[in-house]
Amino acid sequence: MSETIALDLDRIRSELPATGRSACLNTGTSGPLPSAALSAAVRLAAEEFATGRMTMSYVLSYRAVLAAARDRLASFVGADGDEMALTQNTTSGMNIATWGLDWKPGDRIVTTTLEHEGGLVPLYQLHRRRGVDVTFADVGDGHGDRALEALDAAISPGVKLVAVSHLTWSTGAILPLAEIVELAHERGAMVLVDGAQSVGAIPVDMHELGADFYAFSGQKWLCGPHGSGGLFVRRDRLDELRPTFTGYVGIDFGSYRPNDVTTLAPAAGAQRFEVASSYLPSVAALEASVAWLDEQGPIFDAIRSLAGYCLSRVRELPGVQVLTPDAPHHGGLVAFKLDGVDSAGCVDLLHERGVDIRHIPDNGALRISCGFFNAREEIDRAVELIDAFARGAAWA
């Protein structure tokens, strides 16, 4: 049984009002917004409404809010501010990095059999439009040494890009990213990471991990608004990744001149991958959410502890196949299958009872997200309802 990590849950949950409506056990899709995020968004929206958005003082404050958000995200993930671009979600970051490289027919990409569509679909389009070959390394459920062994076999010299998840969305396994990066770099490949389920759920340090590009979302484990996220681009890779979409935010106005195409140069740092205006209240809300997370104590320990407890409870279910590995190889996601159980129907009925989890269409699994703000009693309630559904018993 995993130890309980001491957090002030009463205070934390009072600042996450959605946790009082239902058991929020689906942070892997969307986390609850903290009061700090709402306050930041409302304050900025009210200022825009009252004073307008056409003055130079607004422009200067606009730039300051964007810069603060980049710096906050960078600090949270062990990067520098000039290595961080603001995006709309993980998928947009995966697209920026995928399409920013110089592709030729026959170039090769390696990915895994556990990827989300947000990372896969850009690769499919690249195959369709540019004739790039995509190889899928069969990593099973992501347990043990299988992932590294499969990628070792798949990443041969000449592979240009390795695109992998840090924490897999469908099984909850943490892949050995630092080792994967080392292996890829030894063979001349760059590494693009889907961090949708890792940033905010496990400790992440970009400089220690060594990945070239790392995309993540704001609305999941960072408890930020929808339509927010970040893309880390390692400083020494900036000039190798070319903006596909570009606009006034992403250019160097020191060299740019109208009516002279030779003057186009990208903005300094990863800001070059931002195109045009952003919705400032949303950016401020994301910055506020991440600042709030920093104040809550050992959230990663709490997530890991609660996921360990959830694993122990799930293993009590008859006919269960647990897909998530034991600590330290999991984050906050616990995925499992039950013999003969309609996972989508189970999710719907749990929702009717005030418990929100999700099912995974790819493998038919049920998935419980264990946030630092969740209580063990919520895990107990979810497991009891799942057990009742599986047995066809009357609902508690």
Q: What is the pLDDT of residues 202-212, one digit of tens each?
A: 999 999 999 99
- Whether the per-residue pLDDT at 396 is higher than 50: the answer is no
> For residues 394 and 129, which has the higher predicted lDDT (pLDDT)?
129
Q: Rounded to whole angstroms, how far apart are CA atoms 195 and 203?
A: 11
182-226: pLDDT as tens digits: 999 999 999 999 999 999 999 999 999 999 999 999 999 999 999
- Measuring CA to CA, how many Å separate 37 from each of 251, 287, 305? 30, 8, 26
Across all residues in the chain, what is the average pLDDT? 95
Q: Is 215 helix (H, G, I), strand (E, B) or coil?
A: strand
pTM: 0.96
Q: Residue range 95-100: average pLDDT?
A: 98
Average pLDDT, integer, range 238-254: 93
Count of CB atoms within 10 A of residue 148's CB?
16
What's the pLDDT score for residue 153? 97
Comparing 3 with 371, the larger pLDDT belongs to 371
Residues 6+ away with beta carbon under 8 Å from 47 = none
Identify any residues that bridge with 162 across adjacent strands, giving them in sequence order: 110, 191
All domains of the chain, ordered by start, with CATH? 9-32+298-391 (3.90.1150.10), 40-293 (3.40.640.10)
Residues 309-359: tens digit of each pLDDT: 999 999 999 999 999 999 999 999 999 999 999 999 999 999 999 999 999
Q: For 56-92, what is each residue's pLDDT tens digit? A: 888 888 999 999 999 999 999 999 999 999 999 999 9
What are the backbone angles phi and psi of residue 216, rounded to the nearest 5°?
Answer: -155, 165
Distance between first and last Cα of the chain:
25
